[in-house]
Amino acid sequence: MRCEFTALSRANTLPEFSAEAVADSRRIVYYNNKDQFWERLRLTEDDWTKSPALPPESRDWFLHQMKTLSNCTDSQCSELHVLQRKTGCELEKLPDGSVNLTVFDEYGFDGEDFIAFNYDTLQWIDKNPKAKETKIKWDQQTERNELLQHHLKKCMNWISTFNNMKKTPPDVHVFVRKAPDDQNKQNLSCLATGFYPRDIKMNIRLYRIIVKNQTFTEIRPNGDGSFQMRSSVEIDTNHKEFYDCSVIHSSLTEPTVVEWEKHYLHFKFTALSKANTLPEFSAEAVADGRRIVHYNNKDKSWVRESLTEDDWTKSPALPPDSRDWFLHQMKTLSNCTDSQCSELHVLQRKSGCQLKKFNGTVTSLRAFDEYGFDGEDFIAFNYDTLQWIDKNPKAKETKIKWDQETERNELLQHHLKTCMDWISIFNNTKKTPPDVHVFVRKAPDDQNKQNLSCLVTGFYPRDIKMNIRLYRILIKNQTFTEIRPNGDGSFQMRSSVEIDTNHKEFYDCFVIHSSLTEPIVIEWDGNGGDCEKESQWALKAVLIIFSILVLIVICYCIYRRKRSNGQMSSYDDDNGVKMTLQSDRGQTSSPGSERRDRCNKNGSSPHTDISVSQPGQRCEQLVFCTS
């Protein structure tokens, strides 16, 4: 707590006086110059019964000191002079629980330190050569100095109790506004107001992790003596993330957390015309980044995805306009013939609903149906009036026509209402928690390193926050894959970090997801050797199997080669002889080949050689010619 006094003299004017008492940056009393009395602020009568009295010196005494130092006359001063005083006490609580109390009564003149009071000796300390005469004079005023010591002692007693009981918790609000310089961005802000004392800690968080690039205002006073502070961060307009605002204040037993969610269901249609070709059509429905239905051009039907039958019984119907109707609108706007267009044109439509929540309470729910043509806003539906809003001069004729289609507009309004009813309940039920796996593999380029990975899979919705930690501290140099879709409509993501092979540290994988009531933490036991041995044995098994297959192939090729050379052997059981039938293919130089040549010259063809092998006889080869 401190009392501050200021006396200001200007040439040819009366001196000005101001004074106030401030406790923990909160003004609790000030001097009213008009009525010339001290006015209490923001304290109860009970507070004031224990509060210290004001310093023993009056307003007139303080102005007299300023005139004396400035050599002013009784009424006016010839130059600009300023006399300032700060008196009071401070309390500091140390980490070990002890308390450090200090008191002070200091004066400054014309922007320089002047003189200060010593609480223990009841003497004054001159801090400027100009103050020597004042020191001598004030040291002799023993009664005043004793009164001043008593005032400062009472200040210390009061602040020891007052600081602990005057605490007001903050009101916390989270809101979003469009970024002024980028239509694809918006500013998410957290405002904490009405808190006392002044010190506060607040942060916007993404999946419970503090966002780095947020900006903070200074802590500013409110009119009632409390304070306010704001934090902001720029995010994408079509974000799918989970943000909250976390506030820590001495008035709170635990941090205040205010959540902000956004969910949506969009139907997107596109018709594209190219020169001398038939128009192309595509359409899909997306809920919170997850495609739930799309149009199959081949079968000309809508195909459901990623939802159970129970979900579809509550789901909104498709927009009332068909594929043919949408293509007809594109042709009309493009001045196309029934079959082809002469230029490139694009008609787009986005229809659906969007929901925002704070701390589980719906704060915003809206529906929309908007068209764009050739990259510009074209026309939009007003859900309340059932009329169309032309956003482009080219859309005036379309607006007049569509405003008259009352039956279609009523169907569209019903469709959008169903959408809002569905999105209000669907997103809260369709959440799948992630499966988390931690494993290690050797680094490909360094035998002394290995890659520790955390794989998270099977989760929905898409947004997730994961990190590998060392002794519960996030590791900076880790790499992340993108969030990738699985075949069943869920998602997966991987994080990796390179570590020493002979590490002795404690690692874990930390995962936050909206399907979880608390984060998942999977610890890694540091055992990567077994996986490596299994890999080595698997490689050896593959090599052995490959070698056996190669041998089989070689033997089979030899066998086929012999077959291709025409050699087949058999035994005559009756005569005990071995008989070999050999075709003449592949023979290039042998007695048999000469005989075959003679057959060829005679117009005959050789067909078989028979060799008979018996013990004691040499092999003979016979060639028969047939004409």
Average pLDDT on 402-425 reads: 89
Give the phi and the psi of residue 184 in degrees, each rounded to 5.
Answer: -90, 0
Q: Is the dihedral of CA 466, 469, 474, 478 positive or negative?
A: negative
Q: Say whether both 293 and 330 belong to one domain.
A: yes
> For residues 219 and 190, is the Cβ–Cβ distance under 8 A?
no
Give the pairing of strands 2-9 and 81-93.
antiparallel
Give the pairing of strands 112-118 and 123-126.
antiparallel
Q: Is the pLDDT of residue 504 over 60?
A: yes
Residue type, 182: D
Lowest mean pLDDT among 217-231, 366-380, 503-517, 573-587: 573-587
Judge whether 132 lies within some domain.
yes
Q: What is the pLDDT of residue 204?
A: 92
Which of 430, 194, 457 minimizes the C-alpha distance to 292?
Answer: 430
Q: What is the pLDDT of residue 219?
A: 92
Q: What is the pLDDT of residue 48?
A: 53
Judge whether 465 lies within some domain.
yes
> For residues 511 and 436, is the Cβ–Cβ distance under 8 A?
yes
Q: What is the pLDDT of residue 588?
A: 42
Q: Say whether both 124 and 150 belong to one domain.
A: yes
> For residues 38 and 10, is the Cβ–Cβ distance under 8 A?
no
What is d(CA 110, CA 619) in angstroms, rounded to the nearest whole number?
136
Judge whether 549 lies within some domain.
no
Give the phi and the psi of residue 154 in degrees, each rounded to 5.
Answer: -65, -35
Q: Say whether both 320 and 235 belong to one domain.
A: no
Lowest mean pLDDT among 71-80, 194-203, 289-298: 71-80
**Which two structure tokens, joined as six digits, stand for 523?**
């610890």
Residue type, 516: L
What is d(CA 483, CA 565) in angstroms, rounded to the nearest whole number?
62
Other C-beta atoms closer than 10 Å to the C-beta of 121 total 11
Q: Say whether both 272 and 398 belong to one domain.
A: yes
DSSP string covering 166-195, please? --BPPEEEEEEEE-TT-TTEEEEEEEEEEE
DSSP string covering 50-111, please? HSPPPPS--HHHHHHHHHHHHT--SS-BSS-EEEEEEEEEEEEE-TTS-EEEEEEEEEEETT
Judge whether 420 lies within some domain.
yes
Q: What is the pLDDT of residue 225?
A: 74
Q: Say whether both 520 and 589 belong to one domain.
A: no
Q: What is the pLDDT of residue 517?
A: 84
Q: What is the pLDDT of residue 612?
A: 45
Helix axes 406-429 and 396-403, enclosed angle (nearest 10):
90
Lowest mean pLDDT among 45-49, 237-241, 494-498, 597-601: 597-601
Q: Is the pLDDT of residue 214 over 80?
A: yes
For residue 166, what pLDDT band results from cuts at 50, 70 and 90? low
Distance of CA 479 to the CA centre of its chain: 16
For residue 528, what pLDDT band results from cuts at 50, 70 and 90? low
Lowest mean pLDDT among 61-75, 311-325, 467-481, 541-555: 311-325
pLDDT tens digits for 105-159?
A: 999 999 999 999 999 999 999 999 999 999 999 999 999 999 999 989 888 888 7
Q: Say whether both 158 and 227 belong to one domain.
A: no
For residue 68, what pLDDT band results from cuts at 50, 70 and 90? confident
Which of 138, 131, 87, 82 minimizes the C-alpha distance to 110?
Answer: 82
Higher-scoring residue by pLDDT: 260, 355:
355
For residue 335, what pLDDT band results from cuts at 50, 70 and 90? confident
Q: What is the pLDDT of residue 55?
A: 81
**Cα–Cα separations (whole angstroms), residue 287 to 172, 265, 353, 477, 554:** 30, 4, 10, 34, 59
Q: Is the pLDDT of residue 462 over 50?
A: yes
**Which two structure tokens, joined as six digits, stand for 625?**
């010619």
Judge whether 600 lies within some domain.
yes
What is the number of domains present in the chain?
A: 5
Q: What is the pLDDT of residue 47?
A: 56
SS3 354: strand
Lowest mean pLDDT among 34-43, 117-126, 303-312, 344-353: 303-312
Q: What is the pLDDT of residue 309?
A: 52
Domain that holds residue 205: 171-254
Q: Is the pLDDT of residue 381 over 80?
A: yes
**Domain stop point among 232, 254, 276:** 254
Judge whether 69 lies within some domain.
yes
DSSP string covering 367-402, please? EEEEEEETTEEEEEEETTTTEEEE-SGGGHHHHHHH
Give the phi and the psi of residue 397 in degrees, each rounded to 5.
Answer: -65, -40
Q: Measured between alpha carbons, how far apart are the two ends of the chain, in Å? A: 134
Judge whether 558 lies within some domain.
no
**Domain stop point among 429, 461, 483:** 429
> For residues 538 and 546, is the Cβ–Cβ distance under 8 A?
no
Q: What is the pLDDT of residue 577?
A: 45
Q: Is the pLDDT of residue 270 over 90?
A: yes
Lowest mean pLDDT among 36-40, 135-139, 405-409: 36-40
Q: Indicate the burial class of 346 (C-beta count within 10 angstroms; 0-12, 13-18, 19 or more).
A: middle
Q: Say whether both 283 and 393 belong to one domain.
A: yes
Residue type, 10: R
Judge whether 561 lies within some domain.
no
The radius of gyration of the chain's CA atoms, rounded to the nearest angstrom, is: 46
Lowest mean pLDDT among 68-82, 103-117, 215-229: 68-82
Give the range with max mean pLDDT: 39-43, 69-73, 309-313, 577-581.
69-73
What is d(CA 565, CA 582) in angstroms, rounded to the nearest whole number?
8
Mean pLDDT taken over the chain:
80
Q: Say whether both 326 and 359 belong to one domain.
A: yes
Q: Say whether both 277 and 239 belong to one domain.
A: no
Q: Say whether both 236 and 310 belong to one domain.
A: no
Q: Indicate the burial class of 227 (C-beta count within 10 angstroms; 0-12, 13-18, 19 or more).
A: buried
**218 DSSP assignment:** P
Other C-beta atoms closer than 10 Å to the C-beta of 549 total 10
Give buried/exposed letters for 276-314 (b at 16+ CB in 10 A, else e): eeebebebbbbbbbbebbbbeeeeeeeeeebbeeebeee
Q: Is the pLDDT of residue 458 over 50?
A: yes
Q: What is the pLDDT of residue 32?
A: 83
**Domain stop point among 141, 165, 189:** 165
CATH number at residue 459: 2.60.40.10
For residue 550, what pLDDT band results from cuts at 50, 70 and 90? confident
Q: Say whether both 183 and 92 belong to one domain.
A: no
What is d(CA 192, CA 205) in angstroms, rounded to the nearest whole number?
15
**Which two structure tokens, joined as six digits, stand for 260?**
């902000």
Q: Is the pLDDT of residue 580 over 70?
A: no
Q: What is the pLDDT of residue 623?
A: 46
What is d(CA 354, CA 350) in angstroms, rounded to the nearest whole number?
12
Give the pairing of strands 290-296 and 280-287.
antiparallel
SS3 610: strand
**Which two structure tokens, joined as six digits, stand for 348?**
């787009």
CATH number at residue 318: 3.30.500.10
pLDDT tens digits for 418-456?
A: 888 888 776 555 678 999 999 988 888 888 888 899 999
Q: What is the pLDDT of residue 80?
A: 85
> For residues 87 and 2, is the Cβ–Cβ distance under 8 A?
yes
Q: Say whether both 407 and 276 belong to one domain.
A: yes
Q: Is the pLDDT of residue 212 over 80?
A: yes
